[in-house]
Amino acid sequence: MTIDRRQLIVCAGLIAVLILSAVLRLSDNQPGLSLPGSTLATPLYIGGTLAAAILLIRQGVDFQRMGFGPRLRWRHLFLGLLGIVVLQIGAELLDPIWSHIFGAPRGLQRFAKIEGSMPTYIGLLAFSWTFAAFGEEIAFRIVLLAGLTSALGGRKTARVIAVIFQAILFGLVHLYQGPTGVCAATVNGLIYGVLTIAGRGAIWPAAIAHGGANTIGLTMLYLGM
């Protein structure tokens, strides 16, 4: 396996930024544990992602390969809708198992105010489709996935390693949801990674699946289900 050290260093920097963002997000959701700058978690991962993307492009990672170039096509829409179905089935099957193992469901306290509140519901939907569905997909499934794959040689083995690693990291950044949320997010990260590979690196399938699944979840919380 041929390793590009410069690209790997950039990926390591992005990983560090994403982990720091996760720690800040966790502290912001734990009363009494708030850290200075905890509200900067989202701007931090956006800035880190943009910086990593620019550096990786300058180091030879193709803009098209990083998922920004492909236009939305019918197969992307199909993969996205298929992803939503797979995500919902996976949640129904696996969430009870994670909850049983860890003794608690996902920690969704940060969404406690959504039930019955239309303004909160609309605001969270907007946030979900921008900073979550597209923001997180750019960070994890486009920049990090493409960057790691390229840094590790670009072959099938490198792609498999990159998909697994980004999924684990995606799970860890959801630590504020507790261990059940970490496991569920890791599985979701694997699904998003596979959708990105199936979509030949395009952002659309994973972003559609991510936004759609979040919309279903937020709607259920709004309705008190």
What is the per-residue pLDDT across 2-48, written as a single tens digit (0 to 9) for each? Answer: 888 899 999 999 999 998 888 887 766 555 444 455 567 778 888 89
Position 90 scores a pLDDT of 92
The burial of 149, by beta-carbon neighbours within 10 Å (0-12 exposed, 13-18 middle, 19 or more buried), is given as buried
Position 37 scores a pLDDT of 52
Q: How far is CA 35 from the centre of its chain?
A: 23
What is the per-residue pLDDT across 60-71, written as a single tens digit (0 to 9) for each? Answer: 887 666 666 678
Mean pLDDT of each 10-residue bin along the chain, 225 residues long: 87 92 72 55 84 90 70 90 95 91 81 81 88 88 91 89 95 88 94 93 93 91 82
Nearest to 128 by CA among 144, 149, 110: 110
pTM: predicted TM-score of the whole model, two decimal places:
0.90
Q: Kindly provide the b/e burial profile for residues 154-193, where b requires at least 16 CB atoms within 10 angstroms of the residue's own CB.
A: beeebbebbbebbbebbbbbbbbbbbbbbbbbbbbbbbbb
| In the chain, where the domains are located | 5-222
Is residue 211 within 8 A of residue 133, CB to CB? The reply is yes
For the chain, the straight-line distance linking the first and the last C-alpha, in angstroms and rounded, comes to: 49
Position 192 scores a pLDDT of 96
Q: Token pair of 133, please?
A: 């569905």
